[in-house]
Amino acid sequence: MKELRLQGLSTVVPGSREPSMAFELGELSIQPHLMKITQVNCVGATGCATGCWLPGLLKVSCLSPGVATFCKDSATPVAAEEGLSGLLATQNGDVGCYGNMDEFTQEELRSLDSEGRALLTQHKIRTWEGKEKTLTLINVYCPHADPGKPERLAFKMRFYRLLQIRAEALLAAGSHVIILGDLNTAHRPIDHWDAVNLEYFEEDPGRKWMDGLLSNLGCQAGSHGGPFIDSYRCFQPKQEGAFTCWSTVTGARHLNYGSRLDYVLGDRTLVIDTFQASFLLPEMMGSDHCPVGAVLSVSSVPAKQCPPLCTRFLPEFAGTQLKILHFLVHLKQDPVFKQSALPLSNQTQVQMRPNKARVHSTRPRPTSTKGQKQLMSYFQSSSSRLQASANLELPSLGTLVTPKTPEDKVTAKVVEGQSKASEAKNEKEVRISFWKSVLGGPLPMPLCRGHKEPCVMRTVKKPGPNLGRHFYMCARPQGPPTDPSARCNFFLWSRPS
């Protein structure tokens, strides 16, 4: 599971310290046949949790995004469904309530649901007054609008429209609705680190869509606008620097140079009556996004069984063991196995001996009759070395005269040792200079002008005439231009080698 974002929804159970949890995960890159049993049915504090993984991942490559929902046993959903259009519904345990989608063609609906970006789970909840209601969670990972691909912006806006139609249809049917996940749009200027410098920030079509979806006066009674409320801004309307996404390439998280793309949106009645808190967890690492969540003052009413979309019912896991205890069952020994494990009979042993002797006879045997050698036998004594050296012819010493006095002998040894050390040093320097001339080594990094610190080398990845070229830039993390500890604007092309 590469680069996972965890969006948590906590429902407070009356009279209990242990909240029941539903975890929403987005931007997954894993296929069901690559998952392990522990990933399919996570063991939580109260037992084996039910995981509703998106089967649509089977239809796309493992690099495509996907979403998943994990629920504790105490929050087992009554229904689950893949996609927003209803074309992937199986008529067995589906959520339903699709609304009027006549503005979409069948081909367009299939395309919008082909990337595994939405998963719906429907739960039963009980309020403080004891009323039982229906709550539908829409776990989404909305498309990103690539500036270089205009068709992706159109795809993103059509996905937004389909999401809104489905959510409003569920509301009209009497269900509470929570839209949870990465919407890939920073709604207001307070939600973006550099909104004042972005041209036409307010004119972005994604922000206009959110303006129509959300109420414009937060949690206040009597506010007007869309049917949903941004739960975080409901509790923290003026909190600056509340971001959920940062660039990992520029290290922008160190200076909180990011944007808020992840949301917990609830329908107005649900947020005003039951939401107790909405939070971000920027200190939790592991992704370019951080978790977001909310706390509701309701208790969950679990279903008696998991919906058919749950991964435990997928063909890949049919008949597999779900708990570790199944692997620890004491096995009774089969009587047939006991008989087969008896020692071989004498007749069988006698029949095997000739074969064994024939095999051993083909192996070369040592001629020596001695036993195993000792370690000291591999070392040569000093007397034998002296005898061997006596047979060697000594080289001519020329004009050198062997010293006869003890003082001359000591002086000769010192001179000889210094000569050998000098020769070894010179030889080492020659080798080092040779390899330096061959390999060259990396050039020193240039210093940025803003901080006088070594730069880092980057490679151009954008298609164009400079694709693949190397350049130098400041090594500090990206941050606000007014922050002196942030990256400066130093740039230098690398000379071709």
Q: Taking a C-beta distance cutoff of 8 angstroms, is the pair 490, 450 a contact? A: yes
Q: Taking a C-beta distance cutoff of 8 angstroms, is the pair 215, 268 a contact? A: yes
Q: Taking a C-beta distance cutoff of 8 angstroms, is the pair 137, 120 a contact? A: yes
Give CA–CA dist 80/82, Å, rounded.
7
- Mark whether 289 is an active-site residue: yes
Taken in order 287, 289, 290, 295, the sign of the CA dihedral is negative
182 labelled ligand-binding: yes
Q: Taking a C-beta distance cutoff of 8 angstroms, is the pair 3, 63 a contact? A: no
Tokens standing for residue 310: 């749950």
Residues across the chain = 497
How many helices (H) and strands (E) the chain has is answered by 10, 18
Catalytic residue among 94, 182, 262, 267: 182
Which residues on neighbouring strands pair with residue 179, listed in sequence order? 138, 265
φ/ψ (deg, to 5) at 192: -135, 140
224 labelled ligand-binding: no
- Mark whether 472 is an active-site residue: no
Taken in order 268, 154, 142, 197, the sign of the CA dihedral is negative
Catalytic residue among 98, 123, 141, 160: 141
What CA–CA distances, in Å, run from 14 to 166, 188, 211, 299, 301? Answer: 31, 35, 35, 7, 12
483 labelled ligand-binding: no
230 labelled ligand-binding: no
Which of 69, 41, 237 has its CA nearest to residue 141? 69
Give CA–CA dist 305/80, Å, rounded.
12
Tokens standing for residue 164: 């809104």
Tokens standing for residue 350: 């006698």
Q: Taking a C-beta distance cutoff of 8 angstroms, is the pair 334, 118 a contact? A: no
Catalytic residue among 123, 187, 192, 289: 289
Give CA–CA dist 374/385, Å, rounded.
20
The residues assigned a catalytic role are 141, 182, 289
The binding site consists of 182, 184, 288-289
The binding site for Mg(2+) consists of 182, 184, 288-289
